[in-house]
Amino acid sequence: MKDSSKSIKYIEKEKLGAFIAELQKEYVVIAPKKVKEFVLFEIIRENEKPVLDFRNSRQSPKEFFFPQTENIVEYEGIIDKRVPLTRDTEMQKRIIFGIRPCDIRSILILDKLFINEDYVDSYYKRLRDNTLLFAYGCNEPRTTCFCSSFGIGPFEEKGTDGFLTDLGDGYLVEGFSEEAKKAIANLPDAAKETIEKKEKCKKLSNERAASSVPIDTIPEKLRTMFEHPLWEDITERCLGCGVCTYLCPTCHCFDIQDEMIDEKGRRVKNWDSCMFPIFTLHGSGHQPRELRYQRMRQRIMHKFNYYDDNFGIIACSGCGRCVTECPVNIDVREILNKIKKS
Amino acid sequence: MENTEKKIREVAQKLLKDKKVNLVIGFEKGTLPWKSRPVFIRKHEDADKLVWNQFCENNLAVYIPFYKKMLDKGNTIAVIAKGCDARSLILHVQENVAKREQLIIIGVPCEGMLDRRKIEKEVAPGEITKIILKDDSVTIKTEKEETEQKQSNFLSDDCIMCTHRKPVVYDELIVVNIKEPPGVKRETILNEFEKKDPQDRWKYFSEEVSRCIRCYACRNACPGCYCNECFVDCSQPQWIGTTVDSETDLQLFQIIRTFHLAGRCVNCGSCSRACPMDIDISLLVSKLSQDSKQFFNYETGLEIDDMPMLNKYSEDDSNEGFFEEH
């Protein structure tokens, strides 16, 4: 059966480098790279090959749309005579290659906030508009993955421009959007057996990723739980660091700072974390969420209730990063199960 | 290990039952194969939750400053303490976070904790599904394979360099025979690094620190970092920039944090373990501990009546590094 809405190509593993080099003629290629013993998404330099034998990257590629530090405006001159410097709005097109489906879902979640009918964040939109997303199916989901809780799976295609599947000797490369089809046009067409092989991978992986957290009633349940002993109970071991929020692919709170050195200055947007004691600290010294459990409550409520209320989607994609990296093993899956039971 | 666990539970249970303490901080089984996690026990019947194994890696003294109000009311807290935890607790007493009599230190001699990153590396890209610890072996199961190795292959770097496995100051000591893991002296590791050119050392440090995402997990996991307002959070005046695109600010954060720990660090390795970007923070603080020992013959948290290193002055103190003319 031929599906004309997409193009299906195949590339042998040893030819990946050449393909990336081809893409680099037109695009900045962002792909997984090995850093010490883990993997991060970075810009691939010339003659560099992405690392594709990974489960998931330590941090998601969120920073390519919502950078941890981003200049909003730069200016120079003395007080009262400040001149804003013009921003470069042109940018080279980018491809994020090898992004996992959970991280694609997270970008779709962020889209609702940064690009909606009331407000468009031009910084985010510019980066989003100029980036193609080539997803990478998870043949072997991590033991801490729970994406299937959110109606997606290790081979979810929604939101992608193209899709990559590891078939052992090579990759099946699918193009969905017109631009993605164009980008892979020079690759040879995939044989029928190869396409069938992908379907097998997908089926196998979907079965593996069956472990999930029952999420359906959580947003409604939380509505009545603002005052609840659960919050103090789950917070007692929390150290109040920013690991969970800074590794989270959907957390999006930020702080704005002015920096001035001599006569040059900038207004800059930095990631912020609701787990920090100075998060939303008022100028008066008043702290609306003074206690650790109130901050924990904010994080869980924001993800699983407020965001759902505001945008109709839960702000979690089940990537499991907060689960594996929390220094004291605060496990959001366990928290969700507790909410469900309480 | 099981024997140790049983003894810990008995001691905790008795303390709670006799109302000697209001809270016991220890470890319980975590949700991940490589993790035992902090637990807070208030009822004697819950003491059976307590576990003891080589994944009890957190320094539990880190929680004491959170209970300042509770301590001010005269409550008492018991802590299941490895050598390093106990030293940090002594630091807290010396710095007036808690009164000595309000802390019941349940000392547990420690064989060193296992580094989950080392275990992960061993089986990568496989995924750890189960870990079984028995005697001095560790069996690591992944979805497809199983491998059995010596625990000592995976000892955390800081535990390899540990100088005080048995708590020095304690109220209750869990008496167990521990096997001394193969230790490497701190000097040996540092000397290796110090042989490099200054440029290479700086390159290593700045590359490590360039990955910092300022989540402050190192700071928050550290029992010595409990300032009401950390210098990085202070906005009036602002001591340090908050961005991650300034290498200087990232370096400054690590360097100043390290100096704040001079004579206060117990080399528990919590900072490095907590770091989600695998930054080798231990190396810096390790050097500082070596200097404390070398110049002031001082080790943190060994004597209850002693003052922290930088709080006291002696005419015999080394002047090396001070006001040197060039």
Query: What is the distance between the alpha carbons of residues B174 and A10, in angstroms, rounded to a whole number?
Result: 62
Asked if A325 and B276 come within 8 Å (Cβ–Cβ), the reply is: yes
Interface test with A, best of B120, B243, B247, B271 (most A CBs within 10 A): B243
Residue B243: closest C-alpha in chain A:
A69
- Helix H, strand E, coil C: the string for A2-53 is CCCCCEEEEEEHHHHHHHHHHHHCCCEEEEEEEECCEEEEEECCCCCCCCCC
Interface test with A, best of B215, B232, B248, B281 (most A CBs within 10 A): B215
> What is the separation of C-alpha B154 from the centre of its chain, rounded to a whole number of angstroms?
17
Asked if B32 and A257 come within 8 Å (Cβ–Cβ), the reply is: no
Q: Among B98, B131, B154, which residue terminates a domain?
A: B154
Asked if A255 and B242 come within 8 Å (Cβ–Cβ), the reply is: yes
pLDDT at A211: 65
Angle formed at CA A110 by CA A35 and CA A148, multiple of 5 degrees: 75
Nearest to B243 among A36, A268, A276 (CB): A268
Query: The pTM is what?
Result: 0.94
- Residue B252 lies inside a defined structural domain of this protein: yes
Residues of B whose CB is below 8 A from A257: 241-243
Shortest CA distance to A98 belongs to which of A34, A162, A2, A27? A162
Q: Do B71 and B136 belong together in one domain?
A: no
Query: What is the distance between the alpha carbons of residues B233 and B56, in angstroms, rounded to a whole number?
Result: 30
Asked if A68 and B233 come within 8 Å (Cβ–Cβ), the reply is: no
Residue B279: closest C-alpha in chain A:
A36
Average pLDDT on B180-204 reads: 89
Q: Do B129 and B249 belong together in one domain?
A: no
Report the domain count for chain B.
2
> What is the separation of C-alpha A277 from the centre of its chain, rounded to a whole number of angstroms?
25
Its ipTM equals 0.95
Q: A74-78, A283-287, A300-304, B237-241: lowest mean pLDDT where?
A: A74-78
Q: What totals of helices (H) and strands (E) does chain A contain, helices first?
A: 12, 11
Q: How close does chain A come to B222, measured CA to CA in Å?
A: 9
B161 burial class (0-12, 13-18, 19+ CB within 10 angstroms)? buried
pLDDT at A1: 45
- Helix H, strand E, coil C: the string for A168-222 is CCEEEEEECCHHHHHHCCCCCECCHHHHHHHHHHHHHHHHHCCCCCCCCCHHHHH
Shortest CA distance to A276 belongs to which of B98, B38, B77, B242? B242
Query: What is the distance between the alpha carbons of residues A110 and A133, in angstroms, rounded to a whole number?
Result: 15
- Asked if B97 and B301 count as a contact pair (C-beta separation under 8 A), the reply is no
Chain B residue set in contact with A, beta carbons under 8 Å: 30-32, 35, 37-40, 58, 62-63, 66, 117, 120-121, 124-125, 127-129, 143, 211, 213-217, 219-221, 233, 241-245, 270, 273-274, 276-278
Render pLDDT for B150-191 as a digit per residue (tens, 0 to 9): 999 999 999 999 999 999 999 999 988 887 777 788 888 899
**Structure token pair of residue A235:** 């917070």
Query: What is the distance between the alpha carbons of residues A128 and B135, in angstroms, rounded to a whole number?
Result: 54
Residues of B whose CB is below 8 A from A59: 213, 276
Q: How close does chain A come to B189, measured CA to CA in Å?
A: 19
Query: What is the distance between the alpha carbons of residues B37 and A234, in angstroms, rounded to a whole number?
Result: 12
Render pLDDT for A11-48 as a digit per residue (tens, 0 to 9): 999 999 999 999 999 999 999 999 999 999 999 999 89
Q: A87-96, A230-239, A299-308, B195-204: lowest mean pLDDT where?
A: A87-96
Q: CA-CA distances (angstroms) from residue B76 to B15, B23, B24, B72, B134?
A: 10, 7, 9, 10, 35
Give residues 141 to 180 of A whose Cβ lies within 8 Å of B: 142-144
Which residues does B152 contact at the CB level (< 8 Å), separation at least 6? Answer: B136, B181, B182
Q: Do B222 and B129 belong together in one domain?
A: no
Asked if A59 and B213 come within 8 Å (Cβ–Cβ), the reply is: yes
Interface test with B, best of A326, A332, A338 (most B CBs within 10 A): A326
Asked if B37 and A247 come within 8 Å (Cβ–Cβ), the reply is: no
Asked if A327 and B58 come within 8 Å (Cβ–Cβ), the reply is: yes
DSSP states of A121-156 as a string? -HHHHHHHHTEEEEEE--SS--TT--GGGGT--TT-
Shortest CA distance to B70 belongs to which of B125, B122, B23, B38? B23
- Residue B134 lies inside a defined structural domain of this protein: yes
**Structure token pair of residue A290:** 């003074």
- Residue B82 lies inside a defined structural domain of this protein: yes
Interface test with B, best of A143, A266, A282 (most B CBs within 10 A): A143
**Under DSSP, is residue B131 helix (H, G, I), strand (E, B) or coil?**
strand
**Structure token pair of residue A142:** 């991590």
b/e per residue, B73-101, with b = 16+ CB within 10 A?
Answer: eeebbbbbbbbbbbbbbbbbbbeebbeee
Query: What is the distance between the alpha carbons of residues B268 and A327, in angstroms, rounded to a whole number?
Result: 14
Which DSSP helix (H) or strand (E) runs through A255?
Answer: strand A254-261
Q: Do B254 and B193 belong together in one domain?
A: yes
Q: Among B154, B181, B207, which residue terminates a domain?
A: B154
Angle formed at CA B233 by CA A57 and CA B231, multiple of 5 degrees: 110
Q: What is the mean pLDDT of chain A?
A: 93
> What is the separation of C-alpha A325 from the centre of its chain, rounded to a whole number of angstroms?
16
**Structure token pair of residue B105:** 């230190």
Render pLDDT for B124-143 as a digit per residue (tens, 0 to 9): 888 999 999 998 899 999 98
Which residues does A311 contact at the CB level (< 8 Å), separation at least 6? Answer: A109, A112, A113, A116
Amino acid letter, residue A340: K
Average pLDDT on A254-270 reads: 90
Nearest to B276 among A58, A68, A270 (CB): A58
- Asked if A148 and A142 count as a contact pair (C-beta separation under 8 A), the reply is no
Residues of B whose CB is below 8 A from A331: 30-32
Query: What is the distance between the alpha carbons of residues A225 and A229, in angstroms, rounded to a whole number?
Result: 9
Query: What is the distance between the alpha carbons of residues A58 and A56, in angstroms, rounded to a whole number?
Result: 7
Give residues 275 to 314 of A whose Cβ lies within 8 Å of B: 276-278, 292
Residue B273: closest C-alpha in chain A:
A327
Which residues does A39 contact at the CB level (< 8 Å), separation at least 6? Answer: A32, A33, A51, A54, A56, A57, A58
Q: Do B129 and B32 belong together in one domain?
A: no
Nearest to B221 among A55, A241, A270 (CB): A241
Render pLDDT for B18-71 as a digit per residue (tens, 0 to 9): 999 999 999 999 999 999 999 999 999 999 999 999 999 999 999 999 999 999
Shortest CA distance to A139 belongs to which of A127, A154, A129? A154
Query: What is the distance between the alpha carbons of residues A4 and B280, in angstroms, rounded to a whole number?
Result: 52
- Residue B267 lies inside a defined structural domain of this protein: yes
A122 contact B CB<8A: no
Residues of A whose CB is below 8 A from B117: 37
- Residue B316 lies inside a defined structural domain of this protein: no
**Under DSSP, is residue A104 helix (H, G, I), strand (E, B) or coil?**
helix
Render pLDDT for A263-277 as a digit per residue (tens, 0 to 9): 888 999 999 999 999
Which DSSP helix (H) or strand (E) runs through A102?
Answer: helix A101-114
Render pLDDT for A104-142 as a digit per residue (tens, 0 to 9): 999 999 999 999 999 999 999 999 999 999 999 999 999
Nearest to A334 among B31, B58, B242 (CB): B31
**Under DSSP, is residue B79 helix (H, G, I), strand (E, B) or coil?**
strand
pLDDT at A287: 93
Q: What is the mean pLDDT of chain B?
A: 93
- Residue B219 lies inside a defined structural domain of this protein: yes
A54 contact B CB<8A: yes
Domain extent, residue B148, equals 116-154
Q: Do B269 and B214 belong together in one domain?
A: yes
- Asked if B231 and B279 count as a contact pair (C-beta separation under 8 A), the reply is no
Residues of B whose CB is below 8 A from A140: 125, 127, 143
Contacts by residues B47-51 (CB-CB < 8 Å, ≥ 24 positions apart): B47/B9, B47/B10, B47/B12, B47/B13, B47/B16, B48/B9, B50/B5, B50/B8, B50/B9, B50/B12, B50/B24, B50/B26, B50/B80, B51/B5, B51/B26, B51/B27
- Residue B65 lies inside a defined structural domain of this protein: yes
Query: What is the distance between the alpha carbons of residues A160 and A108, in angstroms, rounded to a whole number?
Result: 10
Q: Do B275 and B186 belong together in one domain?
A: yes
Residues of B whose CB is below 8 A from A245: 215
Show me where the domains of chain A are located. 7-208, 218-341
Torsion of CA A176, A180, A183, A187, to 10 degrees: -20
Residues of B whose CB is below 8 A from A333: 31
Angle formed at CA A47 by CA A45 and CA A53, multiple of 5 degrees: 85
CB atoms within 10 A of CB B294: 12
Query: What is the distance between the alpha carbons of residues B84 and B67, in angstroms, rounded to a whole number?
Result: 20
- Residue B325 lies inside a defined structural domain of this protein: no
**Structure token pair of residue B49:** 């939750």
pLDDT at A232: 97
Torsion of CA A148, A153, A156, A158, to 10 degrees: 0
DSSP states of B141-203 as a string? EESS-EEEEEGGGGB-HHHHT-S--S-SS-SEE------------HHHHHHHHHTS-HHHHHH
Q: What letter does residue B206 receive in the DSSP assignment?
A: H
pLDDT at B322: 65
Euclidean distance between the first and the last CA atom of chain A, given in angstroms as a whole number: 49
**Structure token pair of residue B256:** 């100043």
Residue A331: closest C-alpha in chain B:
B31
Angle formed at CA B25 by CA B23 and CA B28, multiple of 5 degrees: 125
Render pLDDT for B89-98 as a digit per residue (tens, 0 to 9): 999 999 999 9
